[in-house]
Structure 1
Amino acid sequence: MNALFLKDLAKKTHRGLRGRVEKGKAGGGLCYGYRVVKKTDSGGEPIRGDREIVPEQAEVVRRIFHEFASGKSPKAIAADLNKDGIPGPLGRAWGDTSIRGHASRGTGILNNELYTGVLVWNRQRFVKDPSTGKRVSRPNPESEWIRTEVPHLRIADDELWQAAKARQQQIAMLFETTTAGMREARAKRLHAARRPVSLLSGLLSCGCCGGKYGLILRDRFGCLNHHRRGTCNNNRTIVRARIEERVLSGLKDRLVCAESVAEAVRAYAEEMNRLNRERRAQAEADRKALEKVERAIAGIIVAIEDGMYQPVMKARAEELERQKAEIMGRMAEAPADVPDVHPNIATIYRIRVVVFTEVLNDPVGGREAAEALCSLVGEVVLSPGSKRGEVIAELRGELLGILDFANPRQDHRIGEVRTKVEASP
């Protein structure tokens, strides 16, 4: 019943948005270059979907189209906008993807038809991926798109729009064979390996700006804020295989060879489990106390209903209500119960680390190994070294911090694995 209700509600919402778009009003989020117009109807209800141009942002949009049409790359455009201190969408730094977007999906500054005075809606739909449970977008056929002319929202004229489209087509034709080959190879590789694009996907960060390190070439990591936005000076890059090797070596050195592992984890497990026992004991005591108070309150109510009211009952009821509120407040603020730490967790992690290199390239076990690595490493911070091409990698994670538990007086950095890696030219 609930599922049918939600499905019916979704259909009504879709019809409502379609009707709004057909009237020339926005049916989705706010695009860069525009702001919401706040109006109300005769009944005081807000009128939704009205937009107007933000003049200073419209100038930036036209600048992007002019520079791209004249031969400037999205990466260079983004870097120059950031150097000029011009905030990007949502006030963030500009990135090449914000400008380039995805042509077939109509995303990115260069593909947004609203800048030509045409509102396009229903380009895509969202469905749940059965393998991950996450919502993913799927393109709708063009016959289902809704187009509405909104000339008052035009920012780029037809000549400028067509010039940008012509350059996009030139680029697509120039790299068509290469792009198709890379996509096919990547799809086959991911399907065969059934694991993330990289073992360290999502774990690498820049020690200079705090942003993400990502694949800027097929097998080389670099700071995305430097290479895509020009907002960071960290130009050091590192080969994927080399940083993966160093991370695994660091984990082995720290989790397999360190003599303090067993003792540190044992002490940590004992302390965490002791805290768990105290929390559970307090929770049980509060539960029993609450039951007792509620029984007493119920007894007073029954007595009053039976005609046995006494003036003292009022004061007693108020005191019981105060106790009940105090107990419930304490229960609401209590930390959530967490599972006890297994006493053999050190051995479990050691075994995982030892077999990493053996299963990473295995189509069946590779994904599990990559997921297990995320449980060991919270973050890998990459910073420039003092030597030319040198990259310093620091491993940070919960278990690495646990190793310091038995030695709290030592330098906090002992929980990190520091390795120096030479970046290949």
Structure 2
Amino acid sequence: MRAMPPPGSRVVFYSRFSSSRQKQTSIEGQERLCVHYAAEKQWVEVNRFSDAEKSGTTTMGRAGLFEMMASAERAEFDVLLVEDIDRTSRDAADMHKIAKDLDELDIVICTVANGVVTDIELAFKAVQNKEFIKQTVFKSKRGQELAVSEGRMSGSIPYGYRKVHKLDAKGEPINGLREVDAKKKAIVIRIHTEFDAGRSTLEICAGLNADGISGPKGKDWRPGALLGNRHGGIGILRNPIYIGEYHFRKTSRRRRKGRMKTRFTAQSERMITQHPELAIIDQDLWDRNQARLAENVDRPFHTKRKVEYVFTGKVSCGVCGSSCIVSDGKYVCTGRQQKGICSNPRRVPREAVETSIFDRIKVHVLNTAVAGPALIAFREEVERARADHAARAESQAARLKEVDQQVANLMVQLRGAGETSFASQLLLEELERVGAEKRRLEQQARRAAPPPPVSGDVKAIIGSISATLDDLHQALQVDDAEAARAKELLRGLITRIVLEPKPGSVVDGRGAGDITVTVEGPMAALIDLAGLDVDRVAKDGHRPMFGLDNATYVWAFSYPLLWRDPRLATVRADLPILARLLDEADVPVSMAGMAKALADAGPTAGPDADRSPEQRARNAVAYLQAQGFTRCVNLRGPDTGYVWNDRGLSDAEWKARIAEPPMTHTIPVMRLVPPEAVVVVVGPPRSDDAE
């Protein structure tokens, strides 16, 4: 045992308090005791060190302790004075290490309570502090569980709620009370509704930031605030508090190598209480969003990309079976474009395919011959589903009554058992099992019954479906939540689209040519549109009304899609003008001369006639050159131009004409070329037998 340091010894003070619930005056009080004790011993104070709001169970993050140990290494003091030894550490290993290091530096540890610290006192205090920590943790958890069982909450306040300030009968504040924040409630509903409408979390955050709405911490919104963690049930899209369900013990903490490690607990380890008054989101909306979140859990990264077009991922090539993607606004085969294994050069405009499919569905599927029998079958199926739901609901209600009685009986038995008895433990385990069954039955009871079958005659229902289909197609034109939800609904109508070159058709150099489109889809998804209110899609979302299996009734049809490059139509409209110009020309016609003639003639009726005269001239000349009707006479100057191949003059003769004076009299019209016309016959292919 070391002797008490003599008067004149250099002394430093070390003070600490553990949490923010304590006050800074705790350190001041400890230092005041140290000053008084040092004055009694006639020691000379050389420094003071402290750590505020730092736990004694670890040395991590305790800057004051590290500074004190560094000062000891520099031999700046002889005595370390603390109020009690637990101020240095409450961990046995850390406490012994600090004492050992100071002893090697010939520094004495003294406490205001007991003077010089001995080895026996150090060992006893280490065991005492360890047990103190265990008891503190146990009592804290017990108090938190009691508060949760009384309807209060522990931990931080989730976004959308605020703390309730209330006093008990003794005038003491009641902690853990929450209520809905009306302003933030609207934001939570907006986030869930837009996510249900098909928008990505990045788009939702961008919209909130653009509207000047602050995030949970007062900063900009980020996807992490919405997604949280799927194991922990945190994040605005995953926290069950938004349906009135509070989960306690979602995490557990364990210290490892001086650091506190946090892990998410299993569902069975959590304590769950119901708070219907705190529910913000409807159960149906919540279930749909959880289903969408679950879809992204184990999918490969490339499949998680946002669906850009209504039929993305559903279109394939009829030649090689590869998928078709949109490139420059047109569907192209990836087998040809990216792999070089396909002979299909077709490039078909996406909008033309989408529009034709919706139009053909109304013609080939939405008629009494095809949809009529399906509607009758679905009505029968819906009636059976409603009857089954009613029977299950009655059985579940009876079982729920029994479970409620079991819970009440267990609670009575639990009150009579001791807190630490073996019987109490068994009763708690049984109560947890029965409680889990009760929550499952209550969740099933909240499920709504299938709606009644669509009323009205077959023609009226088909007309309603057709009108809804038009409304959804029109909703795609706007880039908002309604368009995103409409896109998801329309995607559900189609399972497969195959684009195949039409046999015997000609394809031009740009991939334009006739194709055969084959479309397949579930009849249930179409009939489901009969009960859809399109105006409420973006607000409330939509889910299948009948819950019928999409595979029970499938439709499929094929049709020809006649596609020509619109630039060719403009070229054909411009050819008569340029042909007349070439017929009347005594010298080669330059590109500028052709563009001027087209500009003077005005726009044509072609679908691509909004192009500039220069572009139209280049396209027309390219067509004439490719067909071999014209050739270029290169004069290396502004007179370079084009002439008919059948004029019978060589390039040298054309060049000679350039030097001749121009003719002044009017040349009569020698030949007129009428616009070309294409006649397309659409119908079933004629077999050889029909000939």
> What TM bracket, shorter-length normalisation?
0.3 to 0.5
Q: TM-score, normalised by structure 1?
A: 0.40
TM-score, normalised via structure 2 length = 0.27
Q: From the two aligned structures, give the one with the greater helix fraction.
A: 1
Higher RCO (CA-CA < 8 Å; seq separation 6+): 1
Which structure has the larger Rg over C-alpha atoms?
Answer: 2
